[in-house]
Structure formats: C-alpha cells, structure tokens
C-alpha cells in the first residue's frame, strides 16, 4: 500500500513566501507519517519545494492545507479522484469549513488528526472508511511519536521543527487557533519534547507552538529540560512572555534567540475591540526593553485594518517599531478567516467583499470593507509599512536602537531588504490584486 501525503501551497502563497526570506515548513505530515503502519510506503510532497504528480501510483492521497490554498487543493483533489485515487482532506480550512470540504473529498478530518488517523487507516484497508473523522474531544498530546525527519524537505535555515504545546488559552476575535482547538491549551510531556529536541542534529530549532507562553510554569520546566542540548531556538509567544523575568532568564539560558510576539497593534482601542485587552500598548516599550535585556531579539506580529485603525496607523506603527528597536516584524492585513468570530461579525455587518478563499492570504488582498479606510488605502498603507520597515533607513535606525541580536538582525534585515526589492512588496503588481467590482459580492 502506498500513501501520498501532500502539504499544499498555491502558486500565490509560494510567491509571497519567496519575499519573506524565512518561511518555516509545516510539520503536520511528518508527524502523521510517523503513525502510519510499516507495511505502507510513504511519499511526502511539500508543495513549497516540490511539484505534485497527478499520475501517482499511490492507493490513497491525504492533503493538509490552509484557507488560501483551498481552490488549488479542490482542483488537485478532483484530478486525483478522476484518476480513481481516493482523497482525504484535513488541516485548518477543513476544520473551519467542514461542510464545504466534504464536497471535494472521499474522507475529511475535522479537528486534530493524530488520534483518529490510525483508526482511519485501519478502516481504509478494510474498505469501510467513514466520510468524516471528527475529533470531538480535545485530545491529549501524550505519546505522540517523533516526526519523520526524512520527510522534512524545505531548506529553511532551521535545524529542526518541533512542537511542545498546542492551542492558546486566549480568545482573540480574529484568531483561527482558538476556534480550531476549542480554546484549549495542551502540553506534551516535557521529557518527550526534550528527547525529540535533542534528537535533531542541527543547531537552530523552531518551536511550532501557537503560544509558548500559554502556560508559564510549563514553559519554565521545558526550558530547564532543553538547556543541556546547547541549541538555539525561537517560537511564537503572547505578550505574557515579556512580563515574567524568570521565564525570560530561563528561555535565554536554554538558547532562545528570538521570540515572535503578537503585538498586533499600537492602538489600544483596536486591541480592545479584537478581545486582546491583555496587550497593553502603554507597556510595550518596557516589555520589549526587558526581552532585549535578556539578549533575546523580538519579531513583532502586527495586523492592520482593525475597526479603529485609520490611515495614521501605518506611520504610528513604524514610529513605534523604530523607537523600540524591534529587530524584525511580520505584517498582516486583517483577514476574517471563516469560522472565526470576526468572520461572523463582518458577515452580519455585510462587510465581507469576497468569499474567494484564495484571496484570504492576509498579504495581497483586502477581503472585507474596513471601517475607517478604503480597501485600497489599507493595502497601500500595508505595502508602505513593509517597504519602509525593511528600508536601509529603518534598518539603521532600528539596529541603532537594538541593544541585542546584531548578529541575527543585520543579515536578516538585509536579506529582507533585497528580497523585497526583487520579489516583494511593491514589485509584484499589487494594484492588480485589488478586488474588482465583479468580485465584490
């Protein structure tokens, strides 16, 4: 029996990733592959680096995907099914919009797949698989086998990718994580994570956690356990990471070099309206200073387009990031992913402009009607921020204000500068991505 696993990516997503210098690979399939019985042979195609061959000799195809790749995945699925190969769909978009995904697949997985995956494969071999495998109860993360390292393909500057926890205890209005994981936050046993962490040969490890600061006590235990491996690591974290000295001290000792902190906005009103009241803008400078004090660089996650954002938000954000000496930043256009409270609210208010999921990429389209700007102004401001943040002028200013992370900040910022010049914002014809009237529903 042969199983073809696909980590899907549309052409547009691949183009966006090219401009981002660092684009870490998805690890779902290498983890699921580790749970497949030995009598199956496995091929894994990560579409960011390899092409899918529709004329596969596989007996079964399983595809995981995010919302922007939906149209592409449905086309792939139709071609495989036409060739007589059954298709299983799973991943974030399927969990958020299962009824839609079910129309394009033989089997769908709703929610986390690990517990039901062996049961499905067993059913499939006996010719009695069900249409839907739904994980109703939030599963434990105990005993998850190490991912299949031989199936991690992308050259992404990291030496290994791993996860220690899943989900997030918070409930931000725009976030898919809290919806997909039913507001749960779960941890793998510390010793299992440490064993897997130590098993990677490379020096730089990425924790693929939604929020490594979701349980501060757990995080401290984890940091103590991984310190002896003397590796470097980075992860996403909520602002709570920067409020606890012991957390930062242990993180730094264990090799943390950068934290991706979800600042989201420099407007307190915007944060409050997005149910992210625990982010206090008046504490941002102090928190960033504290993270820097422990030798950890900050990558800020910023979103534009909240209802309280007007055209001044772009300049305010740049002023803040430059003054605080933030080393790196990821900017997103607010995007109401299906299933989120934000999607429901904007739909009720009649402000969704398109249901074409391929445009829900948070980078090249505005898919809803913002309150205090036009969609064009939001897109233009977003592009301006990207160009300005990675301009030589801003790099010099931010690095001058960054007491730490020069070894990492300078090469990475210069890489972004050149990448933006060749692939990125302002160079891939953004005007053509604006929604036309025909597309407005």
Interaction site with ligand SF4 (CB under 6 A): 168, 170-172, 175, 177-178, 210-211, 238, 262
Output 26 or 178, the one with its CB closest to ligand SF4.
Answer: 178
Which residues neighbour 328 within 8 Å (Cβ) at sequence distance 6 or greater? Answer: 258, 297, 298, 299, 300, 409, 412, 413, 416
CB of 238 to ligand SF4, least distance (A): 4
**Which of 170/409 has CB closer to ligand SF4?**
170
Minimum Å distance from CB 126 to ligand SF4? 39
CB of 330 to ligand SF4, least distance (A): 13
DSSP secondary structure letters along 194-215:
HHHHHH--SSEEEE--S-TTSS
Quote the least distance from Cβ 363 to ligand SF4, whole Å: 17
DSSP 359: G
| Pairing status of strand 165-167 against strand 185-187 | antiparallel
Please calculate the CA angle 176-182-188 and round it to the nearest 5 degrees: 95
Length in residues, the chain:
441
DSSP category for residue 243: G
Considering the complex, what minimum distance in angstroms separates the CB of residue 177 from ligand SF4?
Answer: 4
Shorter beta-carbon distance to ligand SF4: residue 101 or 172: 172
Closest CA to 414 of 338, 333, 327, 354: 327
| Closer by beta carbon to ligand SF4, 211 or else 335 | 211
Closer residue to ligand SF4 (CB): 91 or 424: 91
Block residue for tokens 């504290």? 290
Say how many C-beta atoms besides its own lie within 10 A of residue 61's C-beta.
27
Using the minimum distance from each CB to ligand SF4, give the nearer residue, 275 or 347: 275
Run of H or E including 414: helix 406-422
- Counting Cα atoms < 13 Å in the Cβ hemisphere of 32 gives 28
Q: Which of 48/173 has CB closer to ligand SF4?
A: 173
Shortest spacing between CB 404 and ligand SF4, in angstroms: 24
CB of residue 176 to ligand SF4, shortest distance in Å? 8
Q: 3-state DSSP helix/strand/coil percent for the chain, to nearest 5? A: 40, 15, 40
């Amino acid at each position: 029996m042969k199983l073809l696993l696909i980590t899907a990516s549309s052409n547009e997503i691949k183009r966006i990733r090219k401009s981002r210098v660092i684009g870490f690979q998805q690890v779902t399939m290498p983890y699921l592959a580790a749970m497949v019985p030995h009598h199956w042979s496995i091929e894994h195609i990560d579409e960011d680096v390899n092409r899918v061959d529709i004329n596969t000799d596989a007996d079964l195809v399983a595809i995981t995907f995010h919302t922007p790749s939906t149209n592409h995945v449905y086309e792939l699925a139709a071609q495989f099914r036409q060739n007589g190969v059954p298709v299983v769909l799973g991943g974030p978009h399927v969990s958020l919009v299962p009824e839609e995904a079910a129309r394009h697949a033989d089997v769908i997985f709703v929610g986390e797949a690990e517990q039901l995956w062996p049961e499905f494969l067993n059913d499939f071999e006996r010719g009695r698989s069900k249409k839907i495998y739904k994980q109703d109860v939030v599963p434990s993360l105990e005993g998850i086998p190490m991912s299949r390292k031989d199936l991690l393909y992308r050259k992404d500057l990291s030496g290994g990718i791993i996860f220690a926890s899943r989900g997030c205890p918070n409930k931000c209005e725009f976030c898919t994580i809290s919806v997909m994981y039913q507001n749960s936050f779960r941890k793998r046993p510390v010793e299992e994570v440490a064993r897997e962490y130590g098993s990677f040969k490379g020096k730089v490890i990425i924790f693929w956690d939604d929020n490594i600061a979701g349980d501060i006590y757990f995080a401290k235990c984890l940091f103590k356990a991984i310190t002896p491996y003397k590796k470097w690591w980075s992860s996403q974290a909520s602002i709570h990471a920067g409020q606890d000295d012991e957390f930062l001290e242990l993180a730094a000792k264990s090799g943390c070099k950068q934290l991706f902190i979800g600042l989201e906005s420099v407007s307190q009103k915007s944060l409050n309206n997005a149910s992210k009241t625990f982010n206090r803008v008046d504490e941002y400078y102090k928190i960033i200073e504290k993270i820097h004090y422990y030798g950890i660089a900050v990558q800020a996650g910023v979103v534009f387009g909240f209802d309280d954002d007007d055209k001044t938000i772009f300049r305010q954000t740049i002023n803040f990031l430059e003054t605080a000496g933030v080393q790196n930043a990821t900017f997103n256009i607010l995007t109401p992913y299906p299933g989120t409270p934000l999607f429901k609210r904007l739909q009720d208010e009649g402000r969704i402009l398109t249901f074409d999921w391929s445009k829900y990429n948070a980078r090249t389209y505005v898919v809803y009607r913002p309150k205090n700007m036009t969609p064009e102004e939001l897109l233009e401001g977003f592009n301006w921020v990207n160009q300005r943040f990675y301009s030589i002028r801003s790099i010099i200013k931010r690095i001058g204000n960054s007491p730490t992370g020069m070894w990492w900040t300078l090469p990475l910022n210069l890489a972004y500068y050149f990448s933006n010049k060749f692939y990125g914002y302002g160079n891939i014809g953004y005007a053509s991505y604006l929604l036309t009237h025909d597309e407005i529903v």
